A and B are shown apart, each in its own frame.
Chain A
Amino acid sequence: MAESVQPPGPDKRIRPFSVKRQTGFTTVAIICFVALYAPILTLVVFSFNAGESIANWGGFSWRWYEAAWANEQVKEVSVRSLVIASCASAIATGLATMAALGTTRTRPYRGLTAVFVVINQPLMVPEIVSAVALLIFFAMIKIATGYTGLGYLIAAHTAFCIPFAYLPIRARLESMDLTLETAAADLYATPWKAFRRVTLPLLWPGILAGAMLAFVISLDDVVITEFVKSAGQDTLPTYMLGQLRRNVTPEMNAISTAFLALSIGLVTIFFFLSRRRK
């Protein structure tokens, strides 16, 4: 097929004409991939540095991993991060799935645009503004109720995770028309049955992608957590941000590398899971 679309005129090209080729794009793409990974690899390499410095290589050692492992505070904040991310992404994905079902595959109804605006609002409002808003609002509730638990962080994370979970689910739903559900209804399936046996299995990749996105967004969050957390509620990112103010030792690299390994491990599992489902 590719050869049949030769451009007119004398063709001096040696390689066959490809519709898809654009000059220089591959080079830029390769540069991008290298640039994306080089800093991260540097960080990982120096986490094994035996020396005190994060710049001069002093030989291989596990000492900074041992230091981080022995650090009770690091363990505590890591567990807290995972708890918040799990709760927030689970709730957000559930709510986002419902919202996606409620906003797609329908003739526009009154208020639909407003619904889109509210759902996507955390994407449009800068994170720092949301953080300030939540700081003020939760400060009022804290005074009124006296409750200072993790609930605030989970609620805040759930809210900003909703649009991230919503977008891939909605995209998936929009590519599915109602033919199959109609067929199921023709075959006397109840709406619930049609949903469970037809819609949900088809929607599953979208839901999974949404949940992935929500989980990682929650785990990644620094700004909102930094403003909303009560004393002693540091998550791993806010703990690290605090450490960056002080003298940075390769222990930070070790913690970062472990965090990276967790994220990459997770994304790899999801990658192969979602592949198998196809």
Chain B
Amino acid sequence: MAEADAQTTGHTSTGRADGRAAALPNLTRRDEVRRKWLLVAPALVVLALAASGPLLIVLVYSFLTPGNYGGVVWEFSGEAWFKVVFHRDIFDDTLGFADAHLSIFWRSVKLSFLTTVLAFIFGFPTAYFIATRPEKYRGLWLFLITIPFWTNLLIRTFAIMEVIRADGVINQILLGLGVIEQPIQMLATDFAILLGMTYVYLPLMVLPLYASMEKLDFRLVEAAYDLYATRFQALKRVIIPTVKPGIIAGSILVFVPSLGAYVTPRVLGGGKHLMLGNLIELQFGQGRNWPLGAALSITLLLIVMVALLTYIRTTGNSEGGHG
């Protein structure tokens, strides 16, 4: 890379060394803004067509009448939204809460929260450990975290399934040691889903945490010790506030996919312990109720948005709007 030399020869610039100067010298502000928009436009078009736009269609679909064989009939109906929370008895028309739905909602939120907490408890020390290695080896440790992240989520879920099966490694070891007499039923429980999600999403916590910690200036920590801080105080008052953007990013990166998890609960939950993702899929498959599926999707989306906003607000992060 001969061009990389530009980096070393670049310090000849004189008066304009203020790198945050708004524009290159010969551009007016207006030209600059137009150029920025032109650069952003193609990505926005693709995202509008294949990500944001379709979401609006989901919203529309949630107010339509289900077709007999899937799909929709273009007639307005609020029935789907009603069914998200309420359940009408087919015999006597009495109203009740849709317990099945609500318990699935609750399980999704609970397990996602616990996953985030567990991932943080294990991820924070791990990221810290990597960030405090000699610079030469950091890349290698990070590489070790990245490998599982690079491996397919389904494969990792499958690996967990093999380990916790009734005839899996854990049970066989415990049986062999005489700790238990009967294999512990771990598959098809909430615990299995929690374990699986923590396992598959852990790198998503470690990577942003590490990115923040790498830039951590340990002179600040040193200063804290000079001011008689204990290790825990230094951690709580200096390190954690400094790496807060990484904590927020990591938590969001873990919480959001957990809440919408589909593969992990399907493989580890044994078809009984559904989460929201599975409930939604059911409406588009056997349920043949696309509007209900759409309404549930929007509900999930709203929960995620509320979680994100609350999180941003409580942590008072001014950069929150970006992520």
Give A contacts to B, CB under 8 Å: 5, 7-8, 17, 19-26, 28-29, 31-33, 35-40, 42-43, 46, 53-56, 91, 95-96, 98-99, 101-103, 106-107, 109-111, 113, 115-130, 132-137, 139-140, 155-156, 158-160, 162, 166, 171, 177-186, 191, 194, 196-198, 200-202, 204, 216, 219-220, 222-223, 227, 236-237, 240-241, 244, 252-253, 256, 259-260, 263-264, 266-267, 271, 275, 277
Would A129 and B55 count as touching, CB distance under 8 A?
yes
- Closest CB in chain B relative to A259 CB, distance in Å: 6
Residues of A within 8 A of B263 (CB): 222-223, 241
Are B159 and A120 interface neighbours, CB within 8 A?
no
Query: Among B6, B36, B50, which residue has its beta carbon within 8 angstroms of that of A180?
Result: B6
Closest to B70 in A: A139
Q: Compute how far the CA of A222 lies from the CA of B304 in the bound complex, rounded to whole angstroms.
A: 21
Is there an interface contact between A216 and B6, defined as CB atoms closer than 8 Å? Answer: no
- Which of B14, B51, B158, B165 is most buried by chain A, counting CB atoms within 10 A of its CB? B51
Interface residues of B in 118-173 (CB under 8 A from A): 121-123, 125-126, 128-130, 132, 139, 143-156, 158-160, 162-163, 165, 167-169, 172
Chain A residues within 8 Å of B7, by CB: 180, 201-202
Task: Give bound CA distance, A102 to B41, whole Å.
Answer: 9
B47 an interface residue at 8 Å Cβ cutoff? Answer: yes
A201-B1, A219-B152 known; A39-B50 Cβ under 8 A: no
Give every chain B residue within 8 A of A275 (Cβ-Cβ). Answer: 139
What is the CA–CA distance of A124 and B152 in the complex, to the nearest angstrom? 21
Closest to B267 in A: A244
For residue B267, which residues in chain A have a CB less than 8 angstroms away from its CB?
241, 244
Which chain B residue shows the least CB distance to A179? B19
B114 at the interface (CB under 8 A from A): no
A185 touches B26 (CB 8 A): yes
The residues of A that contact B262 with a CB separation of less than 8 Å are 127-128, 222-223
Residues of B within 8 A of A196 (CB): 3
Give chain A's interface secondary structure class.
helix
A240 to B163, CA, bound (A): 18
Sorted nearest first, the 10 A-B pairs with minimum C-beta distance are A126-B260, A177-B19, A102-B39, A29-B129, A133-B54, A183-B13, A159-B50, A39-B159, A25-B125, A137-B54
Give Cα A156–Cα B47 distance, bound, in whole angstroms: 9
CA distance A134 to B53 in the complex (A): 9
B177 part of interface (Cβ distance < 8 Å):
no
- Binding-face segment, B76-84, B89-97, B276-284: B276-284
Determine the residue in chain A with the shortest Cβ distance to B281: A128
Q: B47, A19: Cβ atoms under 8 Å? A: no
Instruction: State A186–B24 Cα separation when bound (angstroms).
Output: 10
A115-B129 contact given A136-B54, A159-B46, A183-B12, CB 8 Å threshold: no
Find A35's partner among B151, B199, B260 (CB 8 Å cutoff): B199
**15 A-B residue pairs with CB within 8 Å:** A22-B231, A29-B129, A40-B151, A53-B167, A98-B39, A126-B301, A129-B301, A132-B293, A133-B57, A136-B57, A140-B57, A178-B19, A186-B13, A240-B155, A260-B151
Interface residue from B130, B256, B290 paired with A126 (Cβ < 8 Å): B256
Using CB atoms, name the residue of chain B closest to A107: B22
Contact B38 A102 (CB under 8 A): yes
4 more A-B residue pairs beyond the given contacts A56-B167, A263-B151, with a C-beta to C-beta distance below 8 A: A28-B122, A28-B129, A123-B252, A198-B10
Give Cα A98–Cα B32 distance, bound, in whole angstroms.
Answer: 14
A99-B40, A126-B256, A133-B58 are known contacts. Are A55 and B167 too (CB-CB below 8 A)? Answer: yes
In the complex, are the beta carbons of A121 and B51 less than 8 A apart? yes
Residues of A within 8 A of B14 (CB): 186
A204 to B259 Cα, complex, angstroms: 34
Give complex CA distance A233, B253 in Å.
29
Q: Which residues of chain B have C-beta atoms less than 8 A from A107's C-beta? A: 22, 29
Most buried by A among B46, B48, B172: B46
Considering only residues 269-295 of chain B, those with a C-beta below 8 Å from chain A are 276-277, 280-281, 284, 290, 293-294
Q: Specify which of B22, B46, B158, B294 is in contact with A132 (CB 8 Å cutoff).
A: B294
> Is A54 in contact with B162, judged by CB distance below 8 angstroms?
yes
Say whether B52 faces chain A, with CB atoms less than 8 Å apart: yes
For B44, the chain A residues whose CB sits under 8 A away are: 99, 115, 118-119
Contact of A267 among B3, B33, B143, B159 (CB under 8 A): B143
Q: Which residues of B contact A182 (CB under 8 A)?
A: 13, 16-17, 19, 21, 24-25
Chain B's closest residue to A252 (CB) is: B158
| A241 closest partner in B (C-beta) | B154
Which A residues touch B225, using CB under 8 A? Answer: 5, 7, 17, 19
- What is the chain B residue whose CB lies nearest that of A33? B144
Question: What's the nearest-Cβ distance from chain B to residue A38, in Å?
Answer: 7
Contacts of B305 in A (CB 8 A): 124
Please give, as numbers and ranges, the residues of chain A lying within 8 Å of B158 by CB-CB distance: 43, 240, 244, 252, 256
Closest to B72 in A: A136
Q: Are B148 and A259 in contact (CB under 8 A)?
A: no
- What residues on A are CB-neighbors of B46 within 8 Å? 91, 95, 155, 158-159, 162
- Please name all residues of chain A whose beta carbon is closer than 8 Å to the beta carbon of B149 when the two chains form the complex: 216
Contact B148 A36, beta carbon cutoff 8 Å: yes
Query: A160–B51 contact, CB under 8 A?
Result: yes
